Structure 1
Amino acid sequence: MMIFRPIESSDYDALWHIAQHTGVGFSSLQPKPDMVRHKLDWALESFSGSTTLDDLLYLFVLEDAKTGNIAGVSGIESAIGQTDPWYNFKVNTQVHTSRELNVYNRLTTMTLCSDHTDYSELCTLFLLPEYRYSNNGRLLSKARMMFMANHPSHFHENVIAEMRGYCDDNGESPFWEAIGRHFFNVDFVTADQQIAKGKTFIAELMPRHPIYTNMLPDSAQAVIGETHNDTLPARKLLESEGFHYTHYIDIFDAGPLLEARVKDIRTVRDSREYKVQIHESTTTDETQWLLASTGFRQFRCILGQVSFEGFEFVNITREQANALQLQPNDTLRVVPLTGRRP
C-alpha cells in the first residue's frame, strides 16, 4: 500500500535522493543541499500552523508502507509571487492591417507579466522511475486536491500548474536559445539553476516590450506551449481534472501554464465526506477510490476499494483505517480516482 502524507523532518535523505533524479528543467527541486534543506524547512514551518508566512509550501511524500521507502514528492504553494515576483509570458494576438496596401496580418506576441500573483500552485511533482506503475502517479498528484478540498481557506480560489517545456536530450531548449540567451548570456541549464535561487534577475534583464514570435526561429516557435514528453502524463491528468491552458507560458522553456478554479476541480467538486465504519474485510466492486483523512498535519490519503451504507457511512478495512490513522465514526473524504461521483 502507498500512503500519501505531509513531509517530515526525517525525510531529508529521501528528498535529497529524489532531487538527484529530477533532471534539467525541474527548477523547483534540484540536487543542491541548501535548496533541499530550505524546501524541507519551509514545508515543516508551513505545516506547523504557527508561521506568519503568507506564502506557504505544503510538501507531501508518497511512502511505500511495505518498505518505508519514499517513492515521490508533490506540493502545493499557497500564494505565489508574494516573496519573489512571479513571471510568465502572456501569448497574445496582434492584428496589423492596411486597407491601402490590402494587408491583413494576424501576429502572435509574448509579453512579460505577473498576472498570477497570489494564485495557488500545484508544484514539485516527481515520482521515482521504479514506482511509475499502477496508479501511483495519479495518487501522488490527486491526493493534493483532496487536501485542498479539506482546507479551502488555505488557498486562493484559483490554482495553476506549470508544465515542463521541451528540451532536447542534451538539456538545451530552442526557446531559451532564441530569447533568453540573448539577455542572460548563459545556457539553459545555468539559467534553470539560477531561478531556483530567486527570480529578481528576471525583472532586471528580461525585455518588457512585446516579442513577436514570427521573428523567432521555427524551432523556437514550434515549442511554444508544448509539454516535455516526461510531463505529458501529468498534463493529461490535470486536464482530466478540469485544468486548461490559458495562453501563459514559462519564460525559460515555453512550457504551458494550466489553470483551474479550485471548486471546479473534479476531485474537489465530486468528493464527499462519510463517517467511517471499520471491518476486517468488506465487499466492494472494482472501483478505485481516493480515501483521505480530514486532518492537517496528520493528513493521509490512499487508494482503495470501499462500500457504502446509505449516504452517511463508508465501510473500510482495518488495514485501510490503520494507514489513514482513523477510528470508527471519524470523517473520511472519498472520491473515485476517475470519473463518476460516489
Structure 2
Amino acid sequence: MMVIRPVERDDLAQLMALAGKTGGGLTSLPADSATLSARIDRSILTWQGVLPRAEQGYVFVLEDGETQQAVGICAIEVAVGLQDPWYNFRVGTQVHASKELNVYNMLPTLSLSNDHTGSSELCTLFLDPDYRHGKNGYLLSKSRFLFMAAFRDRFMQKVVAEMRGWIDEQGHSPFWESVGSRFFSMSFSAADYLCGTGQKSFIAELMPKHPLYIDYLSPDAQEVIGKTHPQTSPARAVLEAEGFRYLNYVDIFDGGPTLECDIDRVRAIRKSRVLPASIGAEQDSNPPLCLVGNERYDDFRVVLLNVDPQGESLAITPEQAKILRCGQGDRLRVVTLSGSEKKA
C-alpha cells in the first residue's frame, strides 16, 4: 500500500534520486545534497515546534509499503515571504489614451509583486515517473489537505501553489529568454539552481521595479504566460477541482501560473469529517475511494481506502489500522478523493 508520512533524515538519498528526475524547473527540489538535507532538518524542526512561523515548512514523502522506498515528495510552506521576499509577476493592464487623437490603447503588463506574502504555499510536488499510475498522484497532492484540516490553526487564511511553467525537453524557457535573461545575465538553469539553494537576493537586486509591457516580449514568451508545463498539468487540474483558481499571477522565471484559494474553501478541507476507527467491522459493499488520515501530529499518515465517509464510524481492517498507526476508536479524518465520487 502507498502511504504518506513525514520526511525523515534517512530519506535524503532517495530524495536526491528524485531530484535528478525532475528535468529542471522545480525550484524547491534541487539536486543538491546540502540544500535537501537542510530542508529535511527544517521540516523536522517545524514538527518539533522550535521554529518561528516565518521559517516553518512541512515535507512529506510517498512511501511504497512493499519496498519502503520514498517515491514521491510534497510540502507545505506555512507562511511565505515573511523572512525572504516571495516574488511573482502580476499580469495587469495599463491604459494609454489621447482624447485629441481619439486613441485608446489597453496594454497588458507584468508588474513585480509581493501580494502573496504571508500565504501558506503548497510546493515541491514530484512523483517518480515509474509510479505515475493509478491514484498515486492524487494521494500525493491531496494528502496535504487532510493535514491542514486536522491542524488548521497552524496555517494561514490563503493558500497558494506555483505551477511549473512551460520549458522544452532541453530546458529552454521562452519566457526566461525574453524576460529573465535580460536582467540576470545567466542561464535559466543557473538562476533556477540559485533560487532552489536559497540564494535569492539577486532577484531583488536585478529585477525591474517598473512594469514590463508584454507586447515587447517575443511571441513565444507571450504564448507561455500562465501556461503550465505538460508534466504539471495534471497537478493543476487536481488543484482546480479542489477550488483553486488562476488570478493573473505568474512565476518570474518561467511564467507558470500561481493558483490560490481561501483555505476554508478547499473542497477536501471543507468536506472532510472526523470519525472513530472501527477496526474489523463489516465494511460497506461498495464504498467510494477516500483519503483517510490519522490525527497524530507527530506521526501523521494518509492512505487511500474504499470506505464509507458518511457513517457513524470508519470501518477498516487491522492491517489498515497498523499502517495508519491507530487503535480502536481513534479519530480518523476522511474525505472522498474527488467531489464526483459518490457511494453507489
Q: Give TM class, smaller chain.
A: over 0.9
Partner residue, 2:208: 207
Number of aligned residues: 341
Residues 72 and 128, structure 2, Cα contact 8 Å, conserved in 1: yes
After TM superposition, give the deviation of residue 194 of structure 1 in Å: 1.2
The answer to whether the 8 A contact 1:284-1:306 is kept is: no
Q: Which moved more, 1:283-292 or 1:129-138?
A: 283-292
Q: Secondary structure at the match of 2:259?
A: strand
Tell me how far apart the structure 2 counterparts of residues 327 and 184 of structure 1 sit (CA, whole Å).
55
Equivalent-residue separation in structure 2 for 1:187 and 1:58 (angstroms):
30
Q: How far apart in 1 are the matches of 2:210 and 2:56?
A: 32
The residue type equivalent to 1:114 in the other structure is N
How is 1:136-151 mapped onto 2 (pairs within 5 angstroms)? Answer: 136-151=136-151
Q: d(CA) in 1 for partners of 2:161 and 2:251?
A: 11
| Map of 2:173 onto structure 1 | 173
Q: Please report the TM-score for the alignment, with normalisation by the length of structure 2.
A: 0.96
**Higher mean Cα deviation, 34-43 or 243-252?**
34-43
Q: Following the alignment from structure 1 to structure 2, what is the Cα–Cα distance between the partners of residues 54 and 86?
A: 12
Alignment of 1:47-86 (within 5 A): 47-86=47-86
Distance apart, 1:84 and its partner CA: 1.2
Q: For residue 335 of structure 1, what is the aligned residue in structure 2?
A: 335
Q: CA deviation at 1:284?
A: 3.4
In the alignment, the residues of structure 1 paired with residue 2 and residue 311 of structure 2 have an alpha-carbon distance, to the nearest angstrom, of 27
Map Cα deviations across residues 131-177 of structure 1 (whole Å, 9 max, x no partner).
Answer: 00000000000000100000111110100000000111211111111
Q: SS of the counterpart of 1:3?
A: strand
CA distance in 2, matches of 1:242, 1:53: 25
Are the equivalent residues in 2 in contact too, given 1:307–1:316 (CA < 8 A)? no
CA offset digits 1:28-76 (Å, max 9, x no partner): 0111111111111111111112334532110000111111111100000
Structure 2 equivalent of residue 30 of structure 1? 30
Alignment match, 2:274:
273
The DSSP-based 3-state class of the residue aligned with 1:297 is helix
Counterpart of 1:288?
Answer: 289
Structure 1 gaps of 5+ residues are none
Matching residue of 2:318: 318
**What's 2:243 paired with?**
242
Tell me if structure 2 keeps the 8 A contact 1:111–1:210: yes
Name the CA distance, whole Å, in 1 between partners of 2:148 and 2:229: 27
Distance in 2 separating the partners of 1:29 and 1:140:
15
Per-residue Cα deviation, 1:284-335 (whole angstroms, up to 9, x for no partner):
3151010010111111100011246x75312111121111011011001010
Taking the aligned partners of 2:319 and 2:311, their CA distance within structure 1 comes to 23
Aligned partners of 1:86 and 1:116 also within 8 Å: yes
Give the partner amino acid of 2:274.
E
**Any stretches of 5+ residues in structure 2 without a counterpart?**
none
Partners of 2:31 and 2:50 lie apart in 1 by: 29
Matches within 5 A, 1:219-238: 219-238=220-239
Mean Cα deviation higher: 259-268 or 12-21 = 12-21
Aligned to 1:192: 192
Letter of the structure 1 residue corresponding to residue 291 of structure 2: L
Instruction: Extract structure 1 runs of 4+ deviating beyond 6 A.
Output: none
279-288 or 250-259, larger mean C-alpha shift: 279-288
3-state SS, counterpart of residue 153 of structure 2: helix
SS at structure 2 position matched to 1:291: strand
What secondary structure, in the 3-state scheme, does the structure 1 residue paired with 2:41 have?
helix
**SS of 1:229 mapped into structure 2:** coil
Q: How far is the alpha carbon of 1:16 from its aligned partner? A: 1.5
Amino acid at match of 1:243: F
1:133 corresponds in structure 2 to 133
Identical-pair percentage: 45
How far residue 195 of structure 1 moved from its aligned partner, in angstroms, is 1.1
Two-structure CA RMSD over aligned residues (Å): 1.5
**Amino acid corresponding to residue 34 of structure 1 in structure 2:** A
Q: Distance in 2 between matches of 1:264 and 1:273?
A: 18
How far apart are the structure 2 equivalents of 1:111 and 1:21?
A: 33
TM-score by length of 1: 0.96
Is residue 12–residue 33 contact of structure 2 (8 Å, CA) maintained in 1?
Answer: no
Name the SS for the 1:233 alignment partner: helix
Q: Give CA-to-partner distance per residue, 1:62-98, whole Å, 9 cap, x none.
A: 1111111111000000010122111011111122222
Contact 2:287 2:307 (8 Å CA) reproduced: no
Tell me whether 1:302 sits opposite 2:295 in the alignment. no
Cα distance in 2, alignment partners of residues 93 and 175 from structure 1: 19
CA distance in 1, matches of 2:154, 2:199: 24
